[in-house]
Chain A
Amino acid sequence: METTEPFCVMDCSLIRCATGRAVFNLRELLEAVRTVSDAVLEHHMLRCALENHFELYEFPNDLARWCWTALGDNVLGEQLGVVDPYQQPSTSALRAALANVVEDRLWGLERPPWCRPGLELHLIESRLIAYDTGERIGTPAALLEAVERMSLRSVYFHVHEARRRTAGHTDDFSLWLETSGMEASLVTALREIDFYFLNLSQLRQALSEAFRHYVEGAPAVARSTP
């Protein structure tokens, strides 16, 4: 395999900004979904993946989790859990999808559920700081080895954040392999990973398995490092 540019391993962290606004009940959640800035929606639907410290969350976004745990509305929790922001063409489309789900639920309720004090959802937005780790990867085999020990923040940057950068089309790993002329099967396997459903630790595992499956079945020349 010939590579023009080595893969550049990045790392990232968030800086969070409070809005001073909190949501106490379902009606306020609907109002918030309709009116908060794109950055707030994106934090609670996308970047919150970086805050899943213990892989304990059942749902991939803050809104679903809050409805499930704080409001005790399991139905709405489930419905919001399946809203995949990466399948939406834009943030306004995501906003409309979320508002539709919440409004539909609210429509059928006599009284909107409230959370107990202390469990309100504090709306925040975030900005991403990306760091060049200085690590450069030259081959798929080396990338496999790197992915296995990669920080979860790096996994987030190269998969979740990459999807944002490429308007939902691809992750950095498969893009680099494709650009380097690698076999399409690995590229396809990486792109088929249901990354939004997985937490970052599971995602790293899924990436490793896809790489391993390819590297172990590939000719020796593909496994060698330069």
Chain B
Amino acid sequence: MRLLDRYEEIVGHQEVERLRRLAERLAGKRIVHVNSTRSGGGVAEILGWMVPLMEELGINARWEVITAPSDFYRVTKAFHNGLQGLPVSLRKSDFDLHYEVNRENAQRLNLEADIVFVHDPQPIYLPQFTPAGQVGRWIWRCHIDASRPNRTVWKYLEKAVAHYSGAIFSMAAFARPLACPMFVIPPSIDPLSDKNCSIPEAERLETLASLGIDPERPLLLQVSRFDRFKDPLGVIEAYRLLKPYYPAVQLALAGGSADDDPEGAEVLHDVLEQAGNDADLKVLMLPPDSHRTINALQRSATVVLQKSLKEGFGLTVTEALWKGKPVIGGACGGITLQVHDYHTGFLVYSPAGAAYRIRYLLRYVDKRQRMGQVGREFVREHFLLTRNLRDYLAMLLCLDHPDSETLVV
């Protein structure tokens, strides 16, 4: 079975037909995606499905990966933090290294194409070193919230963006004024991936048993790394406020190990201290490839929380909604685009608010189920990868026809 046929079963014929119509207009285009890694991380995950789907639609798509010494990634990690507004310490030699690595990769990579998508800041200076005429259009895909960046980092990157015909941000709120068009393309989830596909009931129950979670009792779940901005302590506070009313309720906080993150280790320590010896409160440190475990947990949850104080797009919210779960989310970042009061869950502003909304959802089973259904359909319409791909294709058509306010395909 072809890949598109498998997605058609989930998103419907009309959505796949839209993709085909758009792709017909782009048939034969040579598209190259460039990023910094073939595996690991959200961008590699996206390109892992986007490139094959583009190819299946008749577009000549390729994926190139830059190579660089390990010090380069220390610099680009600082760029990443700087784009998010964190203070960073960078020397001139760091910028020189970044610049030089881009020069070397521009010579090494095969970038001959009609459109080259450059993902994130790592390969952002490639256009500077690519011979004129080799690439039709350069598009910068910024997967990071760049709305309030570190000035030094931004000034350096902004110079590179001057060579691009367009930029893509995940939300309008993440964009900064640029000279080129700035398209807004929200991220998406893959409904066929291990993290989101349907799983056998036996596997779900086995997972819960292995984690010491009772499948017969209500389960509250937050999936996120141990980070102050994710407010795990606020989630525990909400759980404690709720417990007298619903003694059977369980809470699972599932995140990655914090071995390489000193601040994360500190937060984890505080979380474990707060959790104490409460047998109904599980703090789960899962390896990065625990996609099916996360999937089973999300499917087993009664209510999913994402009580962040600061958030990017919040794809864990998308994943939970896709599994038919109402989400109680902090009113920040992309959570506000996904969680709509009384429709897909509730936005909350405090642990007390979270506890109050959980009580509501535990009390009104029918409303909880209804919100779960609405949330799943909402994700089907807006946040599956077919919509993401459609936006990319539509954007390319718009660049080809800059003066047509409406395009008929």
Which of A15, A128, A131 has its CB near the most chain B CB atoms (within 10 A)? A15
| B374 close to A54 (CB less than 8 A) | yes
| B182 close to A18 (CB less than 8 A) | yes
CB contact list, A120-168 vs B, under 8 A: 120, 122-124, 127-134, 151, 161
Which residues of A sit under 8 angstroms from B390, Cβ to Cβ?
A: 13
A53 to B374, CA, bound (A): 10
Which of A17, A21, A122 has its CB near the most chain B CB atoms (within 10 A)? A17
Which of B172, B395, B398 has its CB near the most chain A CB atoms (within 10 A)? B172
Interface residues of A, count at CB 8 A: 30
| A129 close to B22 (CB less than 8 A) | yes
Task: Tell whether B340 is near chain A: CB-to-CB under 8 Å.
Answer: yes
Which of B169, B173, B397, B405 has its CB near the most chain A CB atoms (within 10 A)? B405
Given contact pairs A16-B172, A54-B343, A56-B340, A127 touches B14 in the complex (Cβ within 8 A):
no
A161's nearest neighbour on chain B, judged by CB, is B406
Which residues of A sit under 8 angstroms from B103, Cβ to Cβ?
A: none
CB distance from B170 to the nearest CB of A (A): 10
A10 to B409, CA, bound (A): 10
| A22 close to B173 (CB less than 8 A) | yes
| A118 close to B332 (CB less than 8 A) | yes
Task: Tell whether B69 is near chain A: CB-to-CB under 8 Å.
Answer: no
Task: Tell whether B178 is near chain A: CB-to-CB under 8 Å.
Answer: yes
Q: Is the interface of B mostly helix, strand, loop or mixed?
A: mixed
CB distance from A131 to the nearest CB of B (A): 5
CB distance from A101 to the nearest CB of B (A): 24
Which residues of B sit under 8 angstroms from A128, Cβ to Cβ?
A: 405-407
| B405 close to A39 (CB less than 8 A) | yes
| B340 close to A15 (CB less than 8 A) | no
Which residues of A sit under 8 angstroms from B382, Cβ to Cβ?
A: 53
Task: Flag B324-342 by CB within 8 Å of A: 1 or 0 each.
Answer: 0000000110001000101
Task: Tell whether B17 is near chain A: CB-to-CB under 8 Å.
Answer: yes
Task: Tell whether A11 is near chain B: CB-to-CB under 8 Å.
Answer: yes
Which residues of B sit under 8 angstroms from A226, Cβ to Cβ?
A: none
| A130 close to B175 (CB less than 8 A) | no
Q: Which residues of A contact B (CB under 8 A)?
A: 10-11, 13, 15-22, 39, 53-54, 56, 118, 120, 122-124, 127-134, 151, 161
Q: Which residues of B contact A (CB under 8 A)?
A: 14, 17-18, 21-22, 169, 171-173, 175-178, 181-184, 331-332, 336, 340, 342-344, 374, 378, 381-382, 390-391, 394-395, 397-398, 404-409
